[in-house]
């Protein structure tokens, strides 16, 4: 199947491209390279450098590729930028989404998978949140993910799309950008490999649900290809199905830092570069950081047969090796 992956040159999008190729599909990528890079893509995958907020550019890409399905990962994904520049956030995450949905309808792409976020929809929760939990977004970024799902619902009903919103928890893995504010595993890897201590905000007792990027990519493959089940609330034409993609397992930042440092030390020793890495330093708490957030992935197992397969320790070991070699 020909599948257009917006944001396909980014962290999660490029793992989706790899997964689609391995499953025999034909991905093409639309990306403005604002945070992604062409280096993330395997040779031969068409890359259209375009801004989703520009409807003419989006139209040109759809006319050239004529995809049968769309996997929409492109987004402005900085929570703090969304607070500073809500209009820019809405331009990319709302208007950009609507342009991509319009083009999908015009060109007959029947299935649309959207990168949503459990982290920003459910707020502070100490037990894994099910999809039925009322959304309580507190940042413009969270609001745009929620509004995005509502647009998807409208386009599905109005135009007969099969729409799936995947609500990721905290995704980590090779290729994650270590220069942003999110992506704590990537940020810790970069700092520690530079011989500097990882910086932990406040007391570090902030619990998150970490899911491995290639596992998330497999969820996208299943959402793009699952047979319509035509049962209420399942993947079917004319409806939106929202599914959590996470592990339901919480890890706090202090434990995460210890695991990342241990994984990097093991990797360095294996390379004959024995070097104990510095212990973390603690900075001030970040205002507004949730104490705990985790998602219940049971519905994704029921609907798509998706379960996370890579345990945190294994995923961190693979990620550490990738950053050590990068």
Ligand X SMILES: NC(=O)c1ccc[n+]([C@@H]2O[C@H](COP(=O)([O-])OP(=O)(O)OC[C@H]3O[C@@H](n4cnc5c(N)ncnc54)[C@H](O)[C@@H]3O)[C@@H](O)[C@H]2O)c1
Contact map string, positions 50 to 69, toward ligand X, x by CB under 6 A: -xxx----------------
Using CB under 6 A as the binding rule, whether residue 75 contacts ligand X is answered as yes
Contact map string, positions 121 to 160, toward ligand X, x by CB under 6 A: ----------------------------------------
CB of 312 to ligand X, least distance (A): 14
Residues whose CB is less than 8 angstroms from the CB of residue 193 and which lie 6 or more positions away in sequence, other chains included = 264, 323, 324
Using CB under 6 A as the binding rule, whether residue 112 contacts ligand X is answered as no
Q: Out of 21, 33, 105, 138, point to the residue binding ligand X (CB under 6 A).
A: 33
Contact map string, positions 89 to 108, toward ligand X, x by CB under 6 A: ---x---x------------
Two tokens at 45? 């995958």
Three-state secondary structure readout of 1-40: CEEEEECCCCHHHHHHHHHHHHCCCEEEEEECCCCCCHHH
For tokens 């199905």, name the residue. Answer: 241
- Cα maximum dimension of the chain: 60
Beta bridge partners of residue 172, listed in sequence order: 212
Residue in 122, 141, 206, 210 annotated catalytic: 141
Task: Name the residue nearer to ligand X (CB basis): 52 or 303.
Answer: 52
Residue 141 annotated to the active site:
yes
Helix (H, G, I), strand (E, B) or coil at 43: coil
Q: Out of 4, 20, 70, 77, point to the residue binding ligand X (CB under 6 A).
A: 77
Task: Name the residue nearer to ligand X (CB basis): 122 or 155.
Answer: 122
Question: How would you classify the pairing of strands 69-72 and 207-208?
Answer: unpaired
Q: By 3-state DSSP, what share of the chain in percent is helix, strand and coil, each rounded to 5?
A: 45, 20, 40
The residues annotated as belonging to the active site are 141
Residues that bind ligand X (CB under 6 A): 7, 9-13, 31-36, 51-53, 73-77, 92, 96, 115, 117, 119, 168, 170-171, 177
């Amino acid at each position: 199947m020909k599948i257009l992956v917006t944001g396909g040159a980014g962290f999660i999008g490029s793992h989706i491209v790899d997964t689609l190729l391995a499953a025999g599909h034909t991905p093409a990528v639309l990306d403005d390279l604002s945070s992604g890079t062409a280096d993330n893509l395997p040779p031969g995958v068409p890359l259209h450098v375009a801004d989703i907020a520009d409807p003419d550019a989006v139209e040109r890409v759809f006319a050239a590729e004529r995809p049968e399905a769309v996997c929409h990962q492109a987004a402005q994904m900085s929570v703090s930028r969304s607070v500073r520049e809500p209009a820019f956030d809405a331009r990319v995450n709302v208007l950009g989404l609507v342009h991509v949905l319009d083009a999908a309808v015009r060109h007959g792409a029947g299935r649309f998978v959207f990168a949503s976020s459990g982290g920003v929809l459910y707020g502070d929760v100490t037990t894994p949140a099910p999809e039925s939990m009322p959304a309580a977004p507190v940042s413009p970024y969270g609001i745009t993910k929620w509004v995005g799902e509502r647009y998807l619902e409208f386009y599905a009903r109005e135009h007969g799309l099969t729409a799936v919103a995947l609500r990721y928890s905290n995704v980590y893995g090779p290729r994650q950008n270590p220069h942003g504010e999110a992506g704590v595993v990537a940020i810790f890897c970069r700092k520690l490999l530079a011989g500097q201590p990882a910086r932990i905000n406040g007391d570090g007792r902030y619990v998150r649900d970490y899911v491995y990027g290639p596992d998330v990519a497999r969820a996208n493959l299943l959402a793009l290809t699952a047979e319509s089940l035509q049962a209420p609330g399942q993947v079917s034409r004319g409806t939106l199905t929202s599914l959590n993609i996470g592990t339901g397992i919480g890890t706090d930042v202090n434990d995460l830092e210890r695991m990342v440092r241990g994984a990097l030390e093991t990797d360095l020793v294996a390379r004959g570069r024995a070097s104990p890495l510095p212990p973390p330093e603690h900075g001030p708490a970040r205002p507004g950081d949730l104490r705990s957030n985790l998602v219940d992935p049971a519905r994704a197992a029921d609907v798509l047969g998706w379960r996370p397969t890579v345990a945190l320790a294994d995923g961190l070991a693979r990620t550490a090796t990738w950053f050590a070699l990068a």
